[in-house]
A = this chain, B = another copy of it.
């Protein structure tokens, strides 16, 4: 990978003198960005571009180059790559489009390219991309004209599934004053993919923060395991959220949409910040370039009361506390200030102070004696004399925060030109939106709090009881009793039940379990038991049971397949607890995922469910319970008695075990699981085993 980003020599293939030739623009970009390695041009027609003579073929190259950059019609690429292989070239960037993203023929061409690369041991970027920029050595390979003047070299590297997006990041990072390091437009990822680039960037000394723009995540689990093992912050902008956009992504970079809620949960779990837009990604990168935010105590300092109010709103929205300022500090501040116009509150309003020297002193005092987890300084200033003193202030604050290693977010309101000057004068990131600054500080705090490494999935599932083998031996939907059995095998407590095939056995079972009981018809076919008439609750007596047995048995004959025997389930009634949903699914990208929410139809309807990648431990299960909107209902049951929260915690961890140990289980849901004052019980469950879906 090093030779892709730091080649000593580059051959650009597909160059001609025609004004519309795109490969020629690559030569010009290399020259504009000051790439100092050897550059060669290859193309069918003689000529010279940017002082470089066009050679007729790869064979004509005077020596083996480190990197070949190919921008020719798709059909010619396999042959040219083969020529590169023969010439001893082992790294390539294929910018041409017209492959898998375009047509079935293109897909076959792409497979041919992969085959040629394998044969010669060539590693390559693309195809269908505008490729690589490394600002450290001026390696600027996109075929779009770029301007080196505006470029700023900095700590942020970018991996993007789209060329246009990588250029957008390049411009925004440069203009934000933070600066970019390496940018890759990954294209179709036929060889190198995000995990490969990410692993390289984690080791790359020039890269401190990584932004990923993705339209699909095919190997989410691996990606996030990699990300969670690095000390470098990762920001992901995951586009292609909706079905509508999934269509475009398919024709664009052959992407598949992920379930967006799972993506959200998985990224958070891995300590990865999710960006909502390009500007948001840049703001998050600014925030993550600061020393980490270790807690919730925020101090807001502002010259404008209005900005302070907006900042306090943002702080509340992002889980910050406005720390109390102790009286002793207030005294010190009053000595520095004119006491009659300043109230030592948080936000601290500096509106009546026009001496910016004092601002620096106040920030320094705050950092050293108050020790806030973060400071947000909102600085509004005028053109003219205030600009120069503001730049001086920003320089001083840059030194100060580096010295005390605490985060200070500087949000400036002034004309664009002034902000540009400010950015030149200070290493501090300069925000221009209050919400963005607070959100960036919150992302840093989240990352710091969630510094847990994802454990890899076991390559071979653990041993499991013989019973489980039998339960997951068939594919398809398991009946309720078997689904409950599966859950019970992993320690999830279930309501007592007996499976019966005739009325007399049902009566015996009910007698043993004790009335009231529930009676349920068992089949893999019906999805809604109550709708299909397969359910009777609260049966108080043998007489009730007989009537219901008769009705359900008849309904079951209609619903079940002929191959299924007549089976019913008598179950103890559990009431008065709190009904929750405990589920699991196997995500195609992120693997086994545990779900938790309130039980019942109403709460499913409002989508108050949280997810985690398995495995989870008890702490993580508790955090899941604290994340649903209706969390305050989890302390008491319907009858207002306290409930046993830990029984839910254990059931969630058991669900995680089940998913890890039974790769055959595609989906499983306990709903409701009823938590009571002491313990809890699964009442209903559904499991779907490998392969065919119901």
Residues of A at the B interface (CB closer than 8 Å) are 20, 97, 144-147, 150, 160-165, 167-168, 171, 175, 213, 215, 239-245, 247-249, 251-253, 276-279, 302-310, 312-313, 315-317, 322, 341, 343, 345, 347, 349, 351-352, 354, 380, 382-384, 386, 413-417, 433-435, 528, 530-531, 598, 600-603, 605-608, 629-630, 632-633, 638-640
Q: What are the 8 closest A-B residue pairs judged by CB atoms, nearest first?
A: A164-B304, A162-B306, A245-B312, A242-B316, A165-B306, A252-B305, A145-B382, A605-B630
> Counting chain B CB atoms within 10 Å of each CB, which of A163, A245, A248, A600 scores highest?
A248
Assuming A164-B413, A633-B601, is B150 touching A308 (CB within 8 A)?
no
Complex Cα distance, B215 from A147, in Å, reads 44
> Counting chain B CB atoms within 10 Å of each CB, which of A307, A313, A607, A640 scores highest?
A313
Q: Are A150 and B415 in contact (CB under 8 A)?
A: yes
Q: Are A215 and B304 in contact (CB under 8 A)?
A: no
Assuming A164-B413, A433-B277, A435-B276, is B316 touching A241 (CB within 8 A)?
yes
Q: Are B605 and A164 in contact (CB under 8 A)?
A: no
Residue of B163, B171, B639 touching A304 (CB-CB under 8 A): B163
Residue of B248, B386, B530 touching A640 (CB-CB under 8 A): B530
Identify the closest chain B residue to A249 (Cβ).
B309
Q: Are B605 and A306 in contact (CB under 8 A)?
A: no
Q: Are B307 and A168 in contact (CB under 8 A)?
A: yes
Query: Residues of B contacting A351 with CB < 8 Å?
Result: 164
Q: Are B435 and A384 in contact (CB under 8 A)?
A: no
Q: Are A312 and B242 in contact (CB under 8 A)?
A: yes
> Counting chain B CB atoms within 10 Å of each CB, which of A167, A213, A528 scores highest?
A167
Complex Cα distance, B163 from A639, in Å, reads 53
Q: Are B167 and A251 in contact (CB under 8 A)?
A: no
Q: Are A316 and B354 in contact (CB under 8 A)?
A: no
Query: Residues of B contacting A380 with CB < 8 Å?
Result: 164, 167-168
A-B contact pairs, 12 of them (CB 8 A): A145-B383, A145-B384, A147-B382, A164-B302, A164-B304, A164-B307, A240-B309, A244-B315, A252-B305, A528-B640, A602-B630, A602-B633
Query: Residues of B contacting A253 with CB < 8 Å?
Result: 305
A410 to chain B, nearest CB (A): 16
Residue of B161, B309, B383, B433 touching A239 (CB-CB under 8 A): B309
Query: Residues of B contacting A239 with CB < 8 Å?
Result: 306, 309-310, 313
Query: Residues of B contacting A213 with CB < 8 Å?
Result: 306
Identify the closest chain B residue to A608 (Cβ).
B606
Q: Are A279 and B629 in contact (CB under 8 A)?
A: no
A643 to chain B, nearest CB (A): 14
Identify the closest chain B residue to A636 (Cβ).
B601
Q: Are B383 and A147 in contact (CB under 8 A)?
A: yes
Assuming A382-B144, A605-B633, is B309 touching A162 (CB within 8 A)?
yes
Q: What would 9 more interface pairs be, CB under 8 Å, given A147-B384, A175-B415?
A: A164-B304, A164-B351, A213-B306, A243-B316, A244-B312, A247-B345, A248-B312, A277-B434, A601-B633
A135 to chain B, nearest CB (A): 15
Q: Are B322 and A244 in contact (CB under 8 A)?
A: yes
Query: Residues of B contacting A382 with CB < 8 Å?
Result: 144-147
Identify the closest chain B residue to A304 (Cβ).
B164
Identify the closest chain B residue to A354 (Cβ).
B20
Query: Residues of B contacting A347 with CB < 8 Å?
Result: 248
Q: Are B164 and A251 in contact (CB under 8 A)?
A: no
Q: Are B305 and A162 in contact (CB under 8 A)?
A: yes
Complex Cα distance, B414 from A147, in Å, reads 10
A351 to chain B, nearest CB (A): 8
Query: Residues of B contacting A606 with CB < 8 Å?
Result: 603, 606, 608, 629-630
Complex Cα distance, B170 from A637, in Å, reads 55
Query: Residues of B contacting A322 with CB < 8 Å?
Result: 244
Complex Cα distance, B146 from A316, in Å, reads 32
Query: Residues of B contacting A352 with CB < 8 Å?
Result: 97
Complex Cα distance, B348 from A248, in Å, reads 9
Query: Residues of B contacting A415 with CB < 8 Å?
Result: 147, 150, 171, 175
A418 to chain B, nearest CB (A): 9
Q: Are A343 and B245 in contact (CB under 8 A)?
A: no
Query: Residues of B contacting A145 with CB < 8 Å?
Result: 382-384, 386
Q: Are A279 and B433 in contact (CB under 8 A)?
A: yes
Identify the closest chain B residue to A417 (Cβ).
B150
A377 to chain B, nearest CB (A): 14
A601 to chain B, nearest CB (A): 7
Residue of B251, B417, B638 touching A343 (CB-CB under 8 A): B251
Assuming A251-B343, A415-B171, A607-B629, is B160 touching A306 (CB within 8 A)?
yes
Complex Cα distance, B347 from A97, in Å, reads 18
Query: Residues of B contacting A384 with CB < 8 Å?
Result: 145, 147
Q: Are B215 and A309 in contact (CB under 8 A)?
A: yes
Residue of B146, B147, B313 touching A245 (CB-CB under 8 A): B313
Query: Residues of B contacting A383 with CB < 8 Å?
Result: 145-147, 150
Q: Are B316 and A244 in contact (CB under 8 A)?
A: yes
Q: Are A313 and B240 in contact (CB under 8 A)?
A: yes
Identify the closest chain B residue to A216 (Cβ).
B309
A75 to chain B, nearest CB (A): 12
Complex Cα distance, B416 from A175, in Å, reads 8
Complex Cα distance, B315 from A380, in Å, reads 34
Complex Cα distance, B146 from A341, in Å, reads 24
Complex Cα distance, B380 from A175, in Å, reads 16
Query: Residues of B contacting A160 with CB < 8 Å?
Result: 306
Identify the closest chain B residue to A278 (Cβ).
B433
